[in-house]
Structures are given as structure tokens and as C-alpha cells.
Structure 1
């Protein structure tokens, strides 16, 4: 019975033109408190010592864990279709301080 209720529920999601265009980000910084995860999506330009946060998303720990599972699932599907993602030379290095880890 519970499965039928879930199938009957529909959510209409609106996507404005501005949001549909997307925002390019090549770096994400994640911090957390006991009640939320804060994900800052940043655009880091080569040779520029300053970077801008382009978007900040705040989610509950439960949603953060679901996001992790969804990303893992999508990466596995992507690699099955297009081949393994090469992570290159590892983490970027930059002289930027974002505060203490774990603060939100």
C-alpha cells in the first residue's frame, strides 16, 4: 500500500530560464555543523589568486547523504557508458583560506 502512495504522489518542479542555464564551477568547498552541510560552488580561474563563490547550497545531513548516494550512482552510470573518469593530478593547490573545517 505504501508503494502505491509513493507512485501516486507527483511533484511539479519549475525551472526558470536563468537557473536552467546553469553556473560553471570547478571547485567545491564543503563545511558542516551538527544540523547542516554547506556546499560552496566556486569558479577558480588559472593564474588568478582570487576565486568567487558562484552558488551556496545548504542541506540537512540526511539530504547530504542522499546526494552522495545519487552522485555515486550517476558516476558509476557515466563510467559504464563513457569510461573511467581520469582525476588528473589530484587536488588543486591554492593559497585561499575558507575558515576552520566543520564550521557552517
Structure 2
């Protein structure tokens, strides 16, 4: 098998449906981990509201989390080369975060 044929065999066709392609806006992310996984929770915080909802949760293996970190770093570097430095957000104070799971009727006894 030639290198070109080998490369073709490694390609993955990625499909995206219309709803997923629209994306979801998140302005707060929370990252936690255990020995076997990293959990990334993405939230929307609206001005004046003391509550935020997790709108998406991604669970990654440590290896995939590290690959994501490297990919983000490379993309941020390229972005800043083209558009200038991204200024970090200045928060007066970090909000205290509390998780509350939704209660389902099945969970109530």
C-alpha cells in the first residue's frame, strides 16, 4: 500500500446536521476531572440572573482532553497571528458555583 492509499484509509467522513451546525452559545465553562475522564460543562450566564444552566456536557478521556488542549492552543496562536492578541476577561470576582441536578418524576419516591 502506498502512502497516499494509506492516508485515504485513515480519513473519516464527518457529517453534521443542521441543528448541530447552528451551534450553541456558551459564556461559562466548568472543567472537572477524575482519573479516567475530563468533564466539560458549557453554560449560558445571562446578565442579572443568579442562575445558569448547563447547555452541553462533553466527557473526554484524558488523552482526548490533552489533544483538545493542544488543538485549541494551536488555533489560538494562529488566530492571534492574524487578528492580534485576545484580551483575557477581567472578572471582579469568580462566582460561587453550585450544581443542582434536575429531579425527574421517576427519581421521586
- TM normalised by structure 2 equals 0.80
- Describe the SS at the equivalent of 2:96: coil
The CA deviation at 1:94 is: 1.9
Q: Bigger radius of gyration, 1 or 2? A: 2
- TM normalised by structure 1 equals 0.84
Unaligned runs of 5+ in 2: 101-109
The CA deviation at 1:42 is: 0.5
Which aligned runs of 4 or more in structure 1 are off by greater than 4 angstroms?
1-6
Q: Tell whether 2:26 aligns with 1:25.
A: yes
Unaligned runs of 5+ in 1: 100-104
Relative contact order: is structure 1 or structure 2 higher (C-alpha 8 Å, sep ≥ 6)? 1
How far, CA to CA, are the matches of 1:92 and 1:5 in structure 2? 54
Q: How many residue pairs were aligned?
A: 99
Aligned to 1:102: none
The CA deviation at 1:46 is: 1.2
